[in-house]
Amino acid sequence: MNAAEKSSKLHWPDQRVLITGADGFLGGAMTRSLLARGASVYALVWSGNQECDVKNLMAAGATIVRGDITDLSLLTGLCGDSGINTVFHLAAINSNTGTQPPYALWEANIRGVYTVLEACRAASPKARIIIASSREAEECFSEQSVRPHHPYMVSKASAELMARAYNDTFGLLTSCVRSDNLYGGGDLNWQRLIPGTIRSLLQEKVPVIRGDGQLARAYVYIEDAVNAYCAIAERLHRTDVRGQIFRLSTGINSSVLDIVRQLVEISGWNDLVPRILHEKCDERVDKIYVPTREKQLLDWENTVGLREGLARTYEWYRTHSGELS
């Protein structure tokens, strides 16, 4: 590392941060964490989500901006007028199936990315830009992949290519993050395994497993994921970090059935047996990824083990059960 790179240490109280998708699970966690670190945070919330409750983010000190990530004039004005110098682009439509019409998804996930990048190029060319990708994108770059490509997968691969193009051609400091399954308190997508199972247990219902329960993936606790995103931003001035793709994983895969059984034990319903439907699911099968590179380049590693993380998550939902639908 040269002297210029060593001297470019990021100081969060000096940062004016834009977080897109701040009303989402990761976005909300990022917003709260960066406010706690002393940053000034502009939280972009989709204007079409009128039911979004941002009172907690406002109370924490975030400046709420309602709009659309495809609105170039809005983002260019925001980046320029507010002096944005760090961007976490987390907004996206998440759909891992091929059944949803692609137009709206691609508008958000592809046009949204190049709109954010273009706004930074025009108004904040020295900003550090970290974009949430997905392990789904790996399928698009693998010659061995035989899995059918669906729109969400393609949108995330496109986002990675566009970020690299803006980095290489225009000198923007960009990086993309592929993460394994994120979990923790505050995720209100009940279709996901962990929040859905916990809600069933709190409602004294038998958890339902759609497949055979053997699908195994790694699960990253939300606080560890937030720390990884911040670690990337803090080092994005370095030549061995900028333009790169980083992967967040624990290096340990756990099956769906094991996750459900652990949550059952944590709930105290030790005699409860989940109902397994054995439905055929077109699920991505993840190879185990050990984040040695992330440890070396980012000094990042998981600090919350699965059992501890599941216990914390269960307790969050139990404590907030009266507020959740």
- pLDDT tens string 178-191: 999 999 999 999 99
Q: Domain extents for the chain?
A: 14-179, 193-217+251-323
State the pLDDT at residue 3: 47
pLDDT tens across the length of the chain (325 residues):
554 455 457 899 999 999 999 999 999 999 999 999 999 999 999 887 666 668 888 888 999 999 999 999 999 999 999 999 999 999 999 886 666 789 999 999 999 999 999 999 999 999 999 999 999 999 899 887 778 888 999 999 999 999 999 999 999 999 999 999 999 999 999 999 999 999 999 998 999 888 888 889 999 999 999 999 999 999 999 999 999 999 999 999 999 999 999 999 999 988 888 888 878 766 666 789 999 999 999 999 999 999 999 999 999 999 998 776 5
Token pair 């759609």 is found at: 210
| Stated pTM of the model | 0.93
Alpha-carbon span 282 to 147, nearest angstrom: 9
Torsion sign across C-alpha atoms 295, 300, 303, 304? negative
Query: Would you tell me how many other CB atoms lie within 10 Å of the CB of residue 36?
Result: 11
In the structure encoding, which two tokens stand for residue 195, read together?
Answer: 């929040």
Please list the active-site residues. Answer: 152
| CATH code for the domain defined by 14-179 | 3.40.50.720
Alpha-carbon span 191 to 174, nearest angstrom: 31
H or E, element range at 236: none
- pLDDT tens string 256-302: 999 999 999 999 988 888 888 878 766 666 789 999 999 999 999 99
Q: Collapse the DSSP code of 212 into the 3-class scheme (helix H, G, I; strand E, B; otherwise coil) and give the result.
A: coil
The superfamily CATH assigns to domain 193-217+251-323 is UDP-galactose 4-epimerase, domain 1 (3.90.25.10)
